[in-house]
Structure 1
Amino acid sequence: MLIGSSPAPGPPSTPDVTLRRWCADDLDDLVDAYRDPVLRHWTSHPVTNAAEARRWLKGTQRDRADGRRYTFAVVEEQADGARLVGNVVLKGVTPQRPAPEVGYWTASWARGRGVAPRAVTALSRWAFDRFPEVTRLDLLHQVDNVASCRVAQKCGFVFQEVLPARPPFPLDGHRHALHA
Structure 2
Amino acid sequence: MNADPRDDRLLAGSLVLRPWLPGDLGVLLDAYRDPAIRAGSRAPVADEAAAAAWLRTQEEGRASGLRYGFAVVDPGLGDGPVGNVALSFPAPGSPSAEVGYWTAAPARGRGLAPRALEALSDWAFSRFAGDGLARLELLHQVGNEASCRVAEKAGYAFTELLPPCPPWPDEGHRHTREG
TM-score, normalised relative to structure 2:
0.90
Indicate if the aligned counterparts of 1:141 and 1:148 stay in contact, CA closer than 8 A: yes
Deviation at 1:138, TM superposition (A): 0.8
Distance between the aligned counterparts of 2:81 and 2:9, measured in 1? Answer: 16
Is the partner of 1:18 in helix, strand or coil? strand
Deviation at 1:18, TM superposition (A): 0.5
- Percentage identity across aligned positions? 51
Letter in 1 for 2:149: R
Q: Please tell me the root mean square deviation across aligned C-alpha atoms, in Å.
A: 1.7
Tell me: higher relative CO, structure 1 or 2? Use CA pairs within 8 A at least 6 residues apart: 1
State the match for 2:168 in structure 1.
Answer: 169
2: CA distance, partners of 1:162 / 1:96? 26
**1:134 and 2:153 matched:** no
Aligned counterpart, 1:41: 39
Q: Which amino acid aligns with 1:90?
A: L
Instruction: Report 1:23-102 matches (<5 A).
Output: 23-78=21-76, 81-92=78-89, 94-95=91-92, 97-102=94-99
Q: Which residue of 2 aligns with 1:120?
A: 117
2:99 is matched by which residue type in structure 1?
V
Q: Is the 8 A contact 1:69 1:91 kept in 2?
A: yes
Structure 1 segments unaligned to the other structure (5+ residues): 1-7
Task: Kindly indicate whether residue 179 of structure 2 is the aligned counterpart of residue 160 of structure 1.
Answer: no
Q: What SS class does the counterpart of residue 178 from structure 1 fall into? A: strand
Q: Would you identify which runs of 4 or more consecutive aligned residues in structure 1 move more than 6 Å?
A: none
The letter of the residue matching 2:42 is S
Contact 2:8–2:19, Cα closer than 8 Å, also in 1: no
More helix by share: 2
Where structure 2 has 5 or more consecutive residues not aligned to the other structure, the ranges are: 1-5
Deviation at 1:171, TM superposition (A): 1.1
